[in-house]
Structure 1
Amino acid sequence: MKKKVLSAILSIAMVATMLIGCSTESPVSDDSSSEDGGSEGGGKKIGITIQNIENAYWAGVMSKLQEILDENGYDATIVGCEENASTQISQIENFITSGCDMIMVHPHDADAVEESCKQAMDAGIKVMCWDNEMENTTANWVLDNTELGKEIGKTAAAFINEHYTADNKAEVCVIGKPDTQVLLERQQGIEAGLEENCEDNYEIVATIEGVVNNEVQSQAETVLQAHPDCKVWVGVGAGAMIGSNTALLAHYGGAGNIPEDVGVITTDVTSEQLDALQAGDEAVRAIVGFEGSNTDTAQACFEMFEKILNGEFDDVSGDEKNVYRPTMEINMDNIEEIQAGM
C-alpha cells in the first residue's frame, strides 16, 4: 500500500520567498523562454494559479512543487488569485499569451474560469484542474469533496459519541467556506457525516467561514463569547483547525488545560497541525489527510503534469478525465509514523 504521510508547512522565510515570487501581475516575462515555449534546460513552460497563496497548506505544497519542477527543468510560474475570480481569469490569459505548454488552475470559481480555460485549450495548451470536475480541461485531479466532508464528520462523530450523550449534547461549530463550491460541498458533507453517525448527542450552535488562520481565530473567539461551552469544532481546511485551536487555547488558559471533551477535527494538514496533534495537550484530535507530506502531494501533482504533457489524457473525456485522490485519518495512533516521514 502506498505510504501516506502528511503535508508540512513552509518556514517563515520560505513563505516570504513564495510571496515575493507569486504576485498577481503578468507571471512570465517576455524574454524568459525560447521560441518553442520551453526553458533553457529543455523543459516546458507551466503556469499555475491557485485560490490563495496565504493559505498554509497551499503555500507548503506549492513551494515543494516549484522545487520539483525546477529540478526537472520546467519553466514554472505559480501565482495566487487570492480568492478573486477576475484576477484568476487575468492570470490564465497571461499564461496563454506567454506561450505556456500547460496551465494548472485551482479555481476560486470553476464556472467563472471555464471560458478562459477553453481559450487555452483552443490555443493548443493543455489544462489541468486541481479540485473541480471542470469541462474545459485535459484532466481534473480531484477529491470527492462531499465524501471527504463525510469522513471529517464521521471522525468528529466518533469523538462526540465517546464524550457526549443525548442528555449532555456537544455544542458544535462548523467552519466552512460557502463561496467556494468545493468547500461548500465539503461543509455539506461534514454536516451530513455528523447527522449520519452521531447518536442524537450534538447541536450545531454556530457556523463560521474562513480558510486563513487569523480570520478563523477571530471568528472563533466571537463564537466562544456567545457559546462558551462550544467544545467540538469541525472545518474544511488547515486554517479552520489552526485558527480554532488557537482560540480554544486562549479560552482555556493554554496547552495542558484543554478538557478531554474538547476537540477540533478538520482536513488539509500542515506541520503546525501535526505538531498540535502530537503534543496531545491541545484541542486538535484528528485530521483527515491526502497523499502525504508536502513533497508527496507535490510529487503526485508533478506526475499528473507529466502524464498530461505526454498525451495520456488526449483521447479521454467525461468521467475518464477525472483522477480521484485518496484520503486517510491521522490521529494519535499513527502520528509518530507520519511525523517520521515528514
Structure 2
Amino acid sequence: MKKTGRILSMALSLVMVMCMFTACSQKAGSTDTAGGTQENGTQGNITQSAEVTEALKDAKKVALCTMTTEGDFWNFYYENIRAKLADQGAEMDIIDADMDAVRQIEQIDNCVTQGYDLIFTIAVDPNAISDACSRAMAAGVPVFAFIKDPGEQYRTSFRGGDETKVAHTLVQITMEWIEEHFPDAAEGSINTIVIGGIGAGSETERFNATCEKLKEYPQLNIMEEVQWETSQSYAQSATENLITKYKGDINLFVVCSGEMALGVRSTVMAEGSVINDYTDFGIFTVDLNAEIAESIKNAAQGTDVIRTACVNGGNITKACEDIAKQCMDIINGNYEKFYPVNVDIATADNMADFGF
C-alpha cells in the first residue's frame, strides 16, 4: 500500500507540473478573437523586473486598442506607456486593429468580455467605434480615448490637442525656415506638397487646417494636397510617384504625420533619388521619435532632410508618464473628462528637452 501511495503521489505531482507548464505557455502571448495581434503586458522590448512581474499577477488590466503598431514612433510610445503603467502596478496589452475599423470594433467588444479594467483607444475611425465604446461603458468598463475623439458621450475621458493649433504650428515652423532660406522668394516660387492622413476626425481636421493656413503665403506654389494611409510604407511608395511626376522639382513636403514623414524621407534620401541636393529642400512634420530626432540633428549639418517638427504632447517621456497616471486615475474613478496636451517645437538645438 505504501508503494502504491508513493506511485500515486508521484503521478499527481507530474500532472500538476504539466498543468503549470501548460498554463504558462498559454499566458505567454495570445491573439484576440477578432483576429488582431495582442501582446501580453509582461512582454515587449522593455524588460520588467521580477518584482514588477510578481506584482502584475494582481494588476489592473489596460487594453490599448490601437489603429496600428507599424513604425518606430508608435512602438516607442506604446512601450513607454506600458513600462510606466507597470511601475504603477498595472498591466497593458497592445491590441492592433491593423487600420481596420471593423476589427477594432470587435476587439473593443472582446475586451469587455475579457475583463479589462480600462480600454485605452487610438481609433482607426473614431466615429466607427462610438457604439462599441458605449457598450463598454454600459458594461462598466471605462474608455480613455487618445488623439482621436469619438465624442464626449462615447468615452469616459479624452486626451488630445487642438488640431487647428497643431496645424498652425506646423505651418509656423515651415514658414520660419522659408523666410531664413528664401528671404526674397517670389510669388509661387517655393514648390510645396502637403500630405495628411486619410483617417476620419483629427487627421482630416489637421490636414484641412494645414492646407487652409498655407494659402496665406503667396510665395508657396502648392503643387498637391494629398491624403494617404497613415503609414510609413505607404508614404514611401507614394512619394516615389510624386517625385517622378514632378521630376524632383520640389522644395518642401509639409507632412501632417511623423510616421508618414519618415516614409517621405526614406524615398527622398534613397540611393539614386533625383533629389540629391538638400540645401534648399526640407520636410516639416508633426510628432517626434528617435529617428525623426536624429534626422533633424543631421539636417542642421546638411546631411538630412527633416528640418524641424512640432510635437503634439510635448516631451514624450513626460507624456507617457502622464498617460499612465491618467489611466490609473480613470480606473480609480478620479479623473478629468479632458486632458489637453501642449504643442511644442523640436529643433536641433533643443532636442535634449525631448529626451533625444
What's the TM-score, normalizing by structure 1?
0.81
Counterpart residue number, 2:164: 146
Q: Provide the secondary structure at the position in 2 that maps to 1:180.
A: coil
Verify: 1:76 aligned to 2:131, yes or no: no
**Structure 1 gap segments, 5+ residues each:** 1-19, 30-38, 314-319
Measured in 2, the distance between the counterparts of 1:295 and 1:22 equals: 28
Deviations 1:277-329 (A, max 9, x none): 1113211111111345553332111011122122223xxxxxx7222111111
How far 1:91 moved relative to its partner?
A: 0.7
Select which of 81, 90, 115 maps to 1:99: 115
Alignment partner of 1:288 out of 310, 329, 345: 310
How do 1:1-342 and structure 2 match up within 5 A? 23=31, 25=33, 27=38, 41-133=57-149, 134=151, 135-164=153-182, 165-167=185-187, 169-196=189-216, 198=217, 200-208=218-226, 209-227=228-246, 228-250=248-270, 257-280=276-299, 281-292=303-314, 294-313=316-335, 321-335=337-351, 337-338=352-353, 341-342=355-356
* Cα displacement (A) at 1:22: 7.9
For residues 23 and 284 of structure 1, what CA distance do their matches in structure 2 show? 37
Partner letter of residue 110 of structure 2?
N
Take 2:242 and 2:39, find their aligned partners in 1: how far apart are those partners? 44
Indicate the SS of the match to 2:215: helix
Task: Kindly state the Cα deviation for residue 207 of structure 1 after the two structures are TM-superposed.
Answer: 3.1
Structure 2: gaps (5+ residues): 1-27, 41-54
* Residue identity in the other structure for 2:142: K
Percent identity over the alignment?
21
Q: Which amino acid aligns with 1:296?
A: K
How far apart are residue 121 of structure 1 and its match? 0.8
State the 4+ residue runs in structure 1 displaced beyond 6 angstroms. none
Whole-angstrom distance in 1 between the partners of 2:348 and 2:39: 44
Kindly state the Cα deviation for residue 142 of structure 1 after the two structures are TM-superposed: 1.0
TM-score by length of 2: 0.78
Provide the alpha-carbon RMSD of the alignment: 2.5
The residue type paired with residue 221 of structure 1 is E
Count of residues paired in the alignment: 303
Q: State the Cα deviation string for residues 2-43 of structure 1 (Å, max 9, x = none).
A: xxxxxxxxxxxxxxxxxx9685546599xxxxxxxxx86432
Larger relative contact order (Cα-Cα within 8 Å, sequence gap ≥ 6) = 1
Deviation at 1:119, TM superposition (A): 0.9
**Highest CA radius of gyration, 1 or 2?**
2
Distance in 2, matches of 1:231 and 1:77, equals 42
Alpha-carbon distance between aligned partners in 2 of 1:309 and 1:244, rounded to the nearest angstrom:
39
